[in-house]
A and B are shown apart, each in its own frame.
Chain A
Amino acid sequence: MSEVERFSINKARSLTGRAETSGENVSRIRAIFGGAVLAFLIAAAIFAPLIAPHDPVLDDLLLINMPPAWLNSNPGHYGIDNPWSYPLGTDSLGRDVASRLIYGARVALIVGFSVACIASVAGVFLGALAGFYGGWTDAVIGRVVDIWVAFPPVLLSIILVALLGTSLTSVIVVVAVIDWTRFARVVRADVLRQKNRDYIEAARIAGSSEISILIREVFPNVLPLLVTLFFFEVGIAITVETILSFVSLSVSSGSVTWGDMIAEGRRVLNESWWVMGFPVLVLIATILGLNAIGDAMRYYLDPVLSR
């Protein structure tokens, strides 16, 4: 392992290991904030048809660029009585911004969690394999990881999605294929660190098989870090999906994404700031919420930290 690589792993640790300096109170605040954001998003995604005030893809050319309700001084101008039926205003095609945000949470969460699941399972498996068996297994996996990280991830995902065709599945597959190395590196380093410890040796002498040592002894120690990385990955995947749909390379038209809204809002920013402002705000809250949950989980799951 080169020095740089070692430090990049240490950096991953220091990024995720913020709990070391923060105590119980900070962790509780993080858990509450992150939990609230996530609960809100999940509820919005599941019950979208029930809570969204309007059809998110329905154009209404009479209601173009209507400002948010509290700024809408003249709802009669648009032919409606109650401005609060369009709480966050409408975009340049007269679609309801709030409803689009709510439906957009669906794509965001599906992509975020699917990617994090696939990437973490693949990364943990390959990383553990490389760390535990060493030798040529490690060399091959290590080489692949090296080649992988030499590509700018955003560029790579844009190229891959463009070539695979734009669909929900290809976005998920592409981002997972790019991001599994994040998990593999951390797990490999941790397995390497632990495999020569006394308690592993003791288990081996006691007759445990390699696999059961890996699962029973090594894995629990990496788990807190993995959970944190998992939530970070959800946030990263959601950001990448937004970026892809921002450059019109994500899920096919028909479904609503935050990236589409941002791209649209960017064009009409001069006339109607709310079309871009609200999705950016929601995205920031989502990322911060997921990071907060990840940090809090690490504090609660790590027996050393929470003692």
Chain B
Amino acid sequence: MLGVSVVVFAILRLVPGDPIAMMLPPGATEETRQNLERLYGMDKPLIEQYFIWLRDVLHLDFGMSTQFRLPVMEVIFNRLPVTLELVLLASIIALTLSFALSVLAVWIQRDGATLIIDGASGLTQAIPDFLWALIFIFFVTLYAPSIPISGRYDPRTAQDFITGFYLIEALITLRLGTFAELLRHAILPAFALALPLAASITRLLKSALEEAMSEDYAILARTKGKSRIAIILGEALRNALIPVIALTSVQLAFLIGGTVLIERLFSLPGIGSTAITAVVNRDLPLIQGVVLVFAALFIAINLISNGLYRLADPRLGKTDE
């Protein structure tokens, strides 16, 4: 994490592009310029700037966004829930879809069905989320213009929310109409993010399930008279889960990266689309903050999945001691 922070800082400061110059109105005096530099602490030597920044970051103070003239923390906290909800919804879709499909494929056991699921997941996996989003936008605009492709909610039905997690809040407070409305906006971007992930989980889970079904314990259970579906759900799935957790966690990190473009394409006010505007406006403090948040999310996901992994496979914890 410290390494990440050094790299972020170094990259952003050592390359051309002057944020102060971008904030100044044309014809500003040299004095105004120096005042601004002092205000944002950019008049000090680079190393000192880094340590000041690092000290502030450790106090959860990321500085002021030069673009919004607001604390970076505030900007990020306003927008992070949008991204998290999108990622959550996409993961739910991906996991449901892939578990249903792979269990189905192993259960049916017909060549034709397997071939269709294999082929479809291969194709789906090859096409990146960016293109899925474009494909959705393309067909929805042309054939189903009533489905919204922009924003989080219809501004005409704007509602009050206490938290930034609109979807979850609407569900908990049982405002189902609002929930449906929010879901209509969120479903396409979430699907675009979810499809490639769903495809790769399906591939892995299906082969892991097939392997598990040919193991001794599965055959034994079969001779005891258990039905195939009971063995798949009751015994094989647990063993097949281990590689899936590892893959999902690696992929989830990509999912978070993917939100950058998906949010931009569907005009969602999350941290991904904020990152792009920050880059375009050379808003250094905001870029630094956003990149660190992304890196922190990535590391958090890895830690969680390592933990889950140990839970799913008790052997791992032991070999490590």
How many residues in B have their beta carbons less than 8 Å from beta carbons of A? 57
Closest residue on chain B to residue A6 by CB atoms: B246
With A154-B261, A276-B138 given, is the CB distance from A18 to B4 under 8 Å? no
Q: List chain A residues, Cβ under 8 A from B261.
A: 154, 243
Q: List chain A residues, Cβ under 8 A from B128.
A: 239, 287
Query: Which residues, 130 to 163 on A, are CB-close (under 8 Å) to B?
Result: 143, 146-147, 149-156, 158-160, 162-163
Q: List chain B residues, Cβ under 8 A from A250.
A: none
Residues 195-228 of B, flagged 1 when their CB comes within 8 A of A and 0 if not, give 0000010011001000000000000000000000
- Is A36 in contact with chain B by the CB < 8 A criterion? no
With A155-B291, A247-B276, A269-B141 given, is the CB distance from A150 to B243 under 8 Å? no
CA–CA, A262 and B138, complex, Å: 11
- Is B123 in contact with chain A by the CB < 8 A criterion? yes
Question: Mostly helix, strand, loop or mixed at chain B's interface?
Answer: helix
- Is B174 in contact with chain A by the CB < 8 A criterion? no
8 Å CB contact of A160 from B11, B123, B127, B258: B11
Of B45-53, B55-63, B293-301, the segment with at least 4 beta carbons within 8 Å of chain A is B293-301
- Is A270 in contact with chain B by the CB < 8 A criterion? yes
With A11-B204, A147-B7 given, is the CB distance from A280 to B134 under 8 Å? yes
- Is A164 in contact with chain B by the CB < 8 A criterion? yes
Closest residue on chain B to residue A3 by CB atoms: B309
Query: Which residues, 257 to 293 on A, are CB-close (under 8 Å) to B?
Result: 262, 266, 269-270, 273, 276-277, 280, 283-284, 287-288, 291
- Is B105 in contact with chain A by the CB < 8 A criterion? no
- Is B130 in contact with chain A by the CB < 8 A criterion? yes
Q: Are B138 and A280 in contact (CB under 8 A)?
A: yes
Q: Are B243 and A162 in contact (CB under 8 A)?
A: no
Q: Are B247 and A11 in contact (CB under 8 A)?
A: yes
Q: List chain B residues, Cβ under 8 A from A158.
A: 260, 275-276, 279
Closest 4 CB pairs of A and B: A152-B257, A7-B246, A163-B15, A150-B295
With A3-B246, A146-B3, A151-B294 given, can you name 16 additional A-B contacts, CB distance below 8 Å?
A: A4-B249, A7-B243, A8-B247, A10-B243, A15-B125, A149-B253, A152-B257, A155-B272, A155-B291, A159-B12, A163-B16, A266-B134, A276-B134, A283-B131, A284-B127, A288-B123
